[in-house]
Amino acid sequence: MNRMQTLVAADAAARPWWKGAAIYQIYPRSFMDSNGDGIGDLPGIAQRLDHVASLGVDAIWISPFFTSPMKDFGYDVADYCDVDPIFGTLADFDLLVARSHSLGLKVLIDQVYSHTSDRHAWFEESRRDRINPKADWYVWADAKPDGSPPSNWQSVFGGPAWTWDARRGQYYLHNFLASQPQLNGHNPEVQEALLGVARFWLERGVDGFRIDALNFAMHDPRLRDNPPAPPSGKPRSRPFDFQQRIYNQSHPAIPRFVARIRALTDRYDGIFTVAEVGGEDAEREMKAFTAGEEHLNSAYGFNFLYADALRPDTVRAALAEWPDQEGVGWPSWAFENHDAPRALSRWCKPEHREAFARLKMLLLVALRGNIILWQGEELGLTQVEIPFEMLRDPEAIANWPLTLSRDGARTPMPWLADAADAGFGSLDPWLPVGAENAARAVDRQEGDPASLLHHTRAMLALRKAHPALHHGAVSICRAAGDVLVLERAADGEQIRLLANFGEERAMLTEGQGAGEVLAAINGAGPRELPAFAALMVRL
């Protein structure tokens, strides 16, 4: 081993496993049904882990599987430290962790610290009266003199963020559903209880957490009214959209609680923490939650998740927020997830989807930061149209038809193209598979070397093999019309990506495409890029 190889190996050994990792998000209800009840479960995930491992990802992130009345499909937690029976048991979870680790996959799970279900024992005690031991564990407030709610705050899912409770003769806060009462994150006892939840799962062997809606964890104790939002030119489907959400979320004390989470996870080896942060002030909050070595490891926002189009300027603006500088956190990126419409249905015409899917995957592996694939993204799944009478998503039902249903992105994973249930495990799944997606099933793509599935594996392998792609700095990120020029460098290696996001052919300047070709898709060459073509070269 020469000196350069020795330095590279030493750098790799010192770098945490998660820095540059590829993570695969699994939605338990829709991944694999092991018992035929129409709902995916933990044993089902374990059955299909070989597929996930074959992609070349480093970790899985499992969306909530905790005890819940499922009003918001697991994000309304009734018991943080148990598995809902529809998903299995704690023993099933332990087996899933062991199976994952045997395949070289780390395991991340969701933590929901901003609210619980109204069925949680904490809330049932809190609402009993104003003097019980948990009376201040949730956000309670008296009515105004006229009986109206304490503030003008609106919920994400529509309507006021306050619900009257006759037992206490007070309103309680809920930023989401009325059945999701807001925890009082300012209360030290609440913080201790949530840290105890994290400790419970760390002791069971999980490798990290994705923390849901973290910027909702604390509110303004003075309950000041939110000011109106200026017109944005975008449609407003909810009262929530008419306000600047200054006081119902994003309290400046949240980073102090984040530091307590980090202090706990640092007592364990190799734990990764990533925050979900949305809203108009997301970048500032993401940086506050990840600053230095005393906060979370990473955060991911909504730069791409709700973007109507994927353009070079979109990529440039997102990466510019996260320069490779001392004290600036490490980002994580997702093009799709359980809350956002499938990217191929948002970003391109149906006739361009096959080409665009290849371009999208190459771009994803070229981004600086961690990358997160949503289940089925490796197959090019599209948004399924769910008729109103079959909707399960409470947000879509409340705001229909002016909001895009999350259900259309949560449909069951297709494993077998010719099976009546697409191999999901039930002929009557909780949501329909969708005929178009069934045709993209895993078995059909496995048998086609030119499929998006094989392309995804190749792209993930490329990222893992090249330090510049895996963890390198961004040296150039430039948008020139429809063409993105992205250069990254690390460990003496420099790689350039040239990507055309337009429907027209783009010409490259002399020498721009020169170098060792690592990837060329959709007809890309050193002098020109056809529609949706991309060229990646090592300089």
Measure the CA–CA gap between 258 and 267, rounded to whole angstroms.
15
- Mark 247-271 as b/e (b = at least 16 C-beta within 10 Å): bbbbbeebbebbbebbebbeeeeeb
CATH classification for the domain delimited by 472-538, as one of 2.160.10.10, 3.20.20.70, 2.60.40.1180, 1.10.150.120: 2.60.40.1180
User: pLDDT for 231-241, tens place per residue?
Assistant: 888 888 889 99
Put simply, whether the predicted model's pTM sits higher than 0.85 gets the answer yes
Residue-level pLDDT, tens digit, the chain, 539 residues:
554 454 445 566 679 999 999 999 999 999 999 999 999 999 999 999 999 999 999 999 999 999 999 999 999 999 999 999 999 999 999 999 999 999 999 999 999 999 999 999 999 999 999 999 999 999 999 999 999 999 999 999 889 999 999 999 999 999 999 999 999 999 999 999 999 999 999 999 999 999 999 999 999 999 999 999 998 888 888 899 999 999 999 999 999 999 999 999 999 999 999 999 998 889 999 999 999 999 999 999 899 999 999 999 999 999 999 999 888 999 999 999 999 999 999 999 999 999 999 999 999 999 999 999 999 999 999 999 998 898 998 888 887 877 778 999 999 999 999 999 999 999 999 999 999 999 999 999 999 999 999 999 999 999 999 999 999 999 999 999 999 999 999 999 999 999 999 999 999 999 999 999 999 999 999 999 999 999 999 99
User: pLDDT for 82-132, tens place per residue?
Assistant: 999 999 999 999 999 999 999 999 999 999 999 999 999 999 999 999 999
**What are the φ and ψ backbone dihedral angles of 390, each rounded to 5 degrees?**
-105, 0
- Residue 492 φ/ψ region, left for φ over 0, alpha for ψ in the -120 to 50 degree band, beta for the rest: left
Based on the residue annotation, tell me whether 212 is a catalytic residue of this protein.
Answer: yes
Domain 18-116+185-463, CATH 3.40.1350.10 — does that match?
no
Please give the span between the terminal C-alpha atoms of the chain, in angstroms, as a whole number: 23
Contact 183, 153 (CB under 8 A): no
Sequence spans of domains, the chain: 18-116+185-463, 472-538
Q: What residue type is 87 in one-letter code? A: F
Helices and strands in the chain, H and E counts = 17, 20
| Catalytic, out of 76, 110, 118, 212 | 212
Measure the CA–CA gap between 20 and 298, rounded to whole angstroms.
11
Residue 149: Cβ within 10 Å count: 17
Q: How far apart, in Å, are the Cα atoms of 298 and each of 21, 214, 277, 295?
A: 11, 12, 11, 9
| Catalytic, out of 276, 395, 407, 421 | 276
DSSP 154-172: B-TTSSBSEEEETTTTEEE
